[in-house]
Structure 1
Amino acid sequence: MDVLIIGSGGREYSIGLALSKDENVEKIYFAPGNGATDALGENLAISDFNALADFVEKNGIELTIVGPEAPLVEGIVDVFKERNLTIFGPTAKAAQLEGSKIFMKNFLARHGVPTAKYIETNSLQEAYDFINTMTAPIVVKADGLCGGKGVIIAQSQDEAKQAAGEMLSGNSFGDAGTSIVVEEFLDGYELSVFAICDGKDYVVLPAAQDHKRLLNNDQGPNTGGMGAYAPTPLVNDDIYAKLDERVIKPTLKGMQEEGMPFTGVLFIGVMVVNGDPIILEYNVRFGDPECEELMPLLKSPASELFYKAATGDLANAKIEFHDKYAVGVVMASKDYPYKNSEPAEIIIDDIYHEEINENAHISFAGVSRGEDGKLYATGGRVLVCVGIGDSIKEAQQRAYMLVGQVHYAGKQCRTDIAYQAL
């Protein structure tokens, strides 16, 4: 089959890399892709949803996979489904689980899914009154999409009130923040759990752990993610069972009952508090950089996972994972996450070390191809070095050995990815 992947980041590159090794897949297209995806397939300069559907129809593309959240929330799946085209991802209605934090929190409350105590409001006075009843830290979230950055963890009531005021005035996140959620801070450890869903059935992928802060030991500002590893030993069979019964099943049942069956990736942001999973948030696509670690752990063909989910046939899929670990280290540009950096040529050493050649790879993200044919770092998060191993330690060592082979001006990365597990 031929496949179209919507998006341009490391997540989409990783999905493309998995599909490029799949004997069921003949050709891969990316819209728009990045400067390195042209090595895996063909990049398309098409962004209009109807024009993309035209291209898919004309070229007989059998499966479209949507990577980022924005086109899902904007309704790309609805456009394709109206034309009977097979597409992996939720409808616009179902994508509200990520598109609106207020919708998501109210949905959790309606269906008895455990989550933090909260209010949703567009009234500053109401926010202040609720904040006055709380002890710090206090979490303040913008309702809409903010590229993973619309969450403030305030260390005092005053700081929470300031954050609420700046969001509601439109100063912080524009229209995305004109309604907000204020909620209690949960003290535990955080996990990323991904369920591939076809509306009724689902497959849970190995749980991952992301590293959001810029600097070692989880210091510095929040980012889109500086690295991740999977599977995490912080999840046991008991937690998986609780997630199944208390979270995934009631969510899929609730989405069906409300007339928006969920197809695609249900990304569950979990805080484990005293052994119980409490839901922080839902997203409706793979996390980035978690996707970069999960794809190489997939043993069965990637096309089967995506196609059977998109066609409501997961019950007949045999999805298997390698009994291995993956660690991914994000290499970012000099000024990330504060501002854009100057383009910098990327030089990758020839790798003679067999262990690295066979057990590590790069997933490219914020890169573009220059007129000279060279690859340049042009984005905030430039690439992810992924190592695979029989233990987390071995996977981590291989990832960092690969990091040492990649050079560009101003490169920065954390040196402690997976430290919680080690």
Structure 2
Amino acid sequence: MDVLIIGSGGREYSIGLALKKDEKVEKIYFAPGNGATDELGENLNISDFNALADFVEANGVDLTIVGPEAPLVEGIVDVFKARGLTIFGPTAKAAQLEGSKIFMKNFLARHNVPTARYIETNLLEEAYKFINTLEAPIVVKADGLCGGKGVIIAQSRDEAKKAAGEMLSGNSFGEAGTSIVVEEFLDGYELSVFAICDGKDYVVLPAAQDHKRLLNNDEGPNTGGMGAYAPTPLVNDEIYAKLDERVIKPTLKGMEEEGMPFTGVLFIGVMVVKGEPIILEYNVRFGDPECEELMPLLKSPASELFYKAAVGDLKSAKIEFYDKYAVGVVMASKDYPYKSSEPAEIIVDDIHHPDLEGNAHISYAGVSRGEDGKLYATGGRVLVCVGLGDSIAEAQKRAYMLVGQVHFAGKQCRTDIAYQAL
């Protein structure tokens, strides 16, 4: 089987790494990939959806997997399906679950999926009125895609009103913020739960927990994610059962009833409040960095999971996971998340420690290959050091041992990933 992976981050590298170990997979292509994915397969400099479909047809590629949200929202799946090509991911219509926070919140309300009290509006006066009914903190969200940065948690009503005003005026997020959602803040602990769906059936992956803030103890600004671990002991069978019955089943049923069956990854952002799972948001792709921890926990061939979901046959798949834990630590560039940093050469020490061999690896993200053939840190989140173990503590220890083997100028990372569980 030949596979094309759309995207360029650590998530796509991790999927490639899982497929590389899969005996059924012969060749992997990345479009566009990053400076390190050329070690796993071939990078393609093609971005146009029709041109990518032409390549898939001409080269007999059996499966395309879409990593990031933007091409999904823009309709890459529709283009491929219209040409009879097998692709993993939701249609543009189904991708509205992430592409529009207003669509998502209204969908949850229509199908009685538990979520925070909210209004959606493009009128400042209406936003102010609702803000006055809430206690701080207050959540203000831009409707459209903002690269994971369109959510403000305001610490006062005045701050919430300011955030709403800046979004609605187009100053904060341009077009993406000209309609907004204002909602009550939920106080609990957050989980990332992923269901691989084929339109009717689904497989739930081990629940993960990511660390959004830049600094230890969840301080500093929000980022795209500074690390994650899976599975989290904060989820028990009761919470999984509630998610099944109250969230995943009604969502898949509702999507089908509304004429947009959901295929791909349903990423469920959950807040557990007094033992009850309340839905914060849906995304329509793997989280990054959660994907980097989930892929090495997958015991079954990765191609089976993705292919059977793409062709609507998850029922016949036998999907198993290792009884292990994974911890991933993001190593970021010097000025992340404030501004771009100077490119810096990445040097990885030779691994001689028996503890690390086979139990730790790097998933590369914001890296480029120089003309000298060396790897350079050129993005914000540069790479993820992933450790595996029989306990979270063991996995964390291995991840940080690997962090110590990686060097580039200005590197920064948190030193407390998985602290909630430990």
Matched residues in 2 for 1:305 and 1:147: separation?
27
Q: 1:410 deviation in Å? A: 0.2
Matched residues in 2 for 1:134 and 1:66: separation?
39
Per-residue CA deviation, residues 43-102 of structure 1 (Å, 9 max, x unaligned), is 000000000000000000000000000000000000000000000000000000000000
**Structure 2 equivalent of residue 308 of structure 1:** 308
Gaps of 5+ in 2: none
Q: 1:133 deviation in Å? A: 0.8
Per-residue CA deviation, residues 24-59 of structure 1 (Å, 9 max, x unaligned), is 000000000000000000000000000000000000
Per-residue CA deviation, residues 113-145 of structure 1 (Å, 9 max, x unaligned), is 000000000000000000011110000000000
Matched residues in 2 for 1:149 and 1:191: separation?
18
**Partner of 2:141: helix, strand, or coil?**
strand
Q: 1:358 deviation in Å? A: 1.4
Matched residues in 2 for 1:358 and 1:74: separation?
39
Task: Provide TM-score, normalisation by structure 2.
Answer: 1.00
Per-residue CA deviation, residues 260-297 of structure 1 (Å, 9 max, x unaligned), is 00000000000000000000000000000000000000
Per-residue CA deviation, residues 181-222 of structure 1 (Å, 9 max, x unaligned), is 000000000000000000000000000000000000000000
Q: 1:357 deviation in Å? A: 1.6
Per-residue CA deviation, residues 365-393 of structure 1 (Å, 9 max, x unaligned), is 00000000000000000000000000000
**Structure 1 equivalent of residue 199 of structure 2:** 199
Matched residues in 2 for 1:390 and 1:367: separation?
31
Matched residues in 1 for 2:222 and 2:376: separation?
25
Matched residues in 2 for 1:149 and 1:22: separation?
35
Matched residues in 2 for 1:356 and 1:321: separation?
20
**Structure 2 equivalent of residue 280 of structure 1:** 280
Q: 1:354 deviation in Å? A: 1.6
**Partner of 1:341: helix, strand, or coil?**
coil
Matched residues in 2 for 1:97 and 1:212: separation?
21
Matched residues in 2 for 1:147 and 1:341: separation?
19
Matched residues in 1 for 2:62 and 2:183: separation?
43
Per-residue CA deviation, residues 294-315 of structure 1 (Å, 9 max, x unaligned), is 0000000000000000000000
Matched residues in 2 for 1:342 and 1:74: separation?
32
**Structure 2 equivalent of residue 138 of structure 1:** 138
Per-residue CA deviation, residues 326-347 of structure 1 (Å, 9 max, x unaligned), is 0000000000000000000000
2:58 equivalent to 1:71: no
Superposition map of 1:118-157 within 5 A: 118-157=118-157
**Structure 1 equivalent of residue 61 of structure 2:** 61
Superposition map of 1:220-239 within 5 A: 220-239=220-239
Q: 1:352 deviation in Å? A: 0.5
Gaps of 5+ in 1: none
Matched residues in 2 for 1:210 and 1:172: separation?
25
**Partner of 1:197: helix, strand, or coil?**
strand
Matched residues in 2 for 1:252 and 1:358: separation?
38
Matched residues in 1 for 2:23 and 2:51: separation?
28
Matched residues in 1 for 2:94 and 2:292: separation?
25
Matched residues in 2 for 1:297 and 1:174: separation?
39
**Partner of 1:34: helix, strand, or coil?**
coil
Matched residues in 1 for 2:78 and 2:329: separation?
35
How many residues are aligned here? 422
Superposition map of 1:16-415 within 5 A: 16-415=16-415
Q: 1:355 deviation in Å? A: 1.3
State percent identity of aligned pairs: 90
**Partner of 2:355: helix, strand, or coil?**
helix
Report runs of 4+ in structure 1 exceeding 2 Å deviation.
none
Matched residues in 2 for 1:235 and 1:8: separation?
31
Which stretch shifts more, 347-356 or 404-413? 347-356
Per-residue CA deviation, residues 374-418 of structure 1 (Å, 9 max, x unaligned), is 000000000000000000000000000000000000000000000
Q: 1:243 deviation in Å? A: 0.1
